[in-house]
């Protein structure tokens, strides 16, 4: 199933929405944060106790391939591993280039009614 993806320009609004999702029953294991800047991703996910897309969400071959990839290629691969199409991953990566942060919820059916 395809995840629910929301884009944010405002980190505080994103963190409010994550807290709201958790209060409404979305399990922490289904909430991911992704930004173009690794430090920003870590800072936001740490502040709201959300996940980042790590080794457990990716295919080992792709992880190893990402070691030598550019940041944009790595982000697109991570998005595809989460269930997005190549075209969707490309579009979201371009938005992250412009400073957007992504909230990715793998329990999409439930989250769609809450956001």
For residue 24, pLDDT over 90 is answered with yes
State the total domains in the chain. Answer: 1
pTM here? Answer: 0.86
What pLDDT does 66 receive?
Answer: 46
- Condensed to tens digits (0 to 9), the pLDDT of residues 66-113 reads 444 577 788 998 999 999 999 999 999 999 999 999 999 998 888 778
In angstroms, the first-to-last Cα distance of the chain is 18
The parent domain of residue 99 ranges over: 4-112
Task: Compute the residue count for the chain.
Answer: 115
Rounded distance between C-alpha atoms, residue 92 and residue 5, angstroms: 9
Rounded distance between C-alpha atoms, residue 32 and residue 47, angstroms: 12
Rounded distance between C-alpha atoms, residue 97 and residue 110, angstroms: 29
Non-local (6+) Cβ contacts of 30 within 8 A are 105, 106, 107, 111
């Amino acid at each position: 199933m395809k995840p629910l993806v929301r884009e944010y320009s405002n980190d505080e609004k994103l963190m409010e929405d994550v807290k709201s999702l958790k209060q409404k029953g979305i399990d922490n294991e289904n909430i991911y944060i992704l930004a173009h800047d690794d430090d920003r991703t870590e800072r936001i996910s740490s502040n709201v106790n959300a996940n980042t897309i790590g080794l457990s969400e990716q295919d080992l071959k792709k992880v190893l391939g990402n070691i030598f990839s550019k940041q944009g290629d790595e982000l697109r691969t991570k998005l595809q591993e989460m269930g997005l199409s190549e075209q969707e991953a490309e579009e979201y990566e371009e938005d992250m280039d412009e400073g957007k942060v992504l909230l990715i919820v793998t329990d999409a059916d439930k989250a769609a009614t809450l956001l």
